[in-house]
Amino acid sequence: MGGIRGFGRLDDGRAVNAHAIGDPAQLSAEILDLGGILARLRVRGADGPVDVVLGLGDARAYGGDPAFLGQLIGRYGNRIAGATFELAGRRHALDANEGRNHLHGGAHGFGHRPWRVEAHSGEALVLSLRSPAGEGGYPGALDVRATYRVEGDVLSLVFAARCDAATPFNPTHHPYFNLAGDRTVPAAAQWLQVPASHYLPVDGELIPFGEVAPVAGTPFDFRIARGLAIAAPHPQLEAGGGLDHCLVLDPGRGFTAALYSPHSGLAMRIDSDAPGLQLYGGQGLARQHPGLGDGICLEPQDYPDAPNRPAFPPAILAPGRDYRRSIRYRFARPGRDRGWDEVAHALRLDRPGLGSPSGVPA
């Protein structure tokens, strides 16, 4: 594949290109050199290609996108309270772009920046970005490389980075998934499993209290696959306006998350070395992009506000250290793909009540 097409221009006149990788007959992606945005991801379904991520039509539509659709996120994914933190005895002030708080790297976040194309082939796209010292308030110059690769039915994303001074660093990825392939199908119609026995409760600004709470008896318990629709009220759902919480992944887990659509029969398994998974139900999309449709975000990452929470695992990149984080998305159709067992063991699709797409036994 490996093609390039113009994707329009931003309001300031900058041209944006879409870079294709993968095999249209199996799994293919289009990634923008703006924000490293995953603008399209098509998976082979029972009746042809299925679009499984939400995307916009041209570059201008992505300019200043408040939903962070498909973006590479950094320097720090999620929120930092008060847009400030202390490191080595020095207080640093960051861009405040969500009220008084810092979200997804602020105004200088990676997802709003042009990335340099280092290499592009039919299977892979390598992007790079330099974030100078002081950008957005962060200490240290940071060099980041993001590599997208398609191999068979797997899309992988690997972040690599180095800095010259200690800095908070928590990159993640922000696609909105709807495996139904039909944007009118509610995202909550999908089934999800996450091996997380705890989560981080948040306040009304979606900042963690610092408590690591058990998921048992809460709407955040996805240890056994279930639908995303929430019937019972919960104070934490009111705080987040729905699902918008970091799930604390269990040590020794076999995977990060698994998602399944009874409508298409498609399933996805996510594997990552990150300690947490932000689950966002996409409840802001109807306001931010009317008519776009429904999708959910599953964002492997470090804990939100970790630079201000000594009890949380640190998310500080030391100078001279080689950073690496990987995220792997594997897609399969039950009963049809050799790789299906890797997804099905998590979702337990033989369990009664999960739902049965056409041609797939329940």
Could you tell me if residue 176 is left (phi over 0), alpha (psi between -120 and 50 degrees) or otherwise beta?
Answer: beta
The two tokens of residue 29 are 């992606």
Active site residues: 174, 299
The two tokens of residue 124 are 């892979």
Phi, psi at residue 157, to the nearest 5°? -135, 125
Residues 6+ apart with CB under 8 A from 291: none
Amino acid at 224: I
Could you tell me if residue 336 is left (phi over 0), alpha (psi between -120 and 50 degrees) or otherwise beta?
Answer: alpha
How large is the C-alpha radius of gyration of the chain? 19
CA distance 112 to 196: 31
Give the DSSP letter of residue 287: H
The two tokens of residue 206 are 């979606």
Give the three-state DSSP class for 62: helix
CB atoms within 10 A of CB 309: 19
The two tokens of residue 76 are 């720090």
Amino acid at 109: G
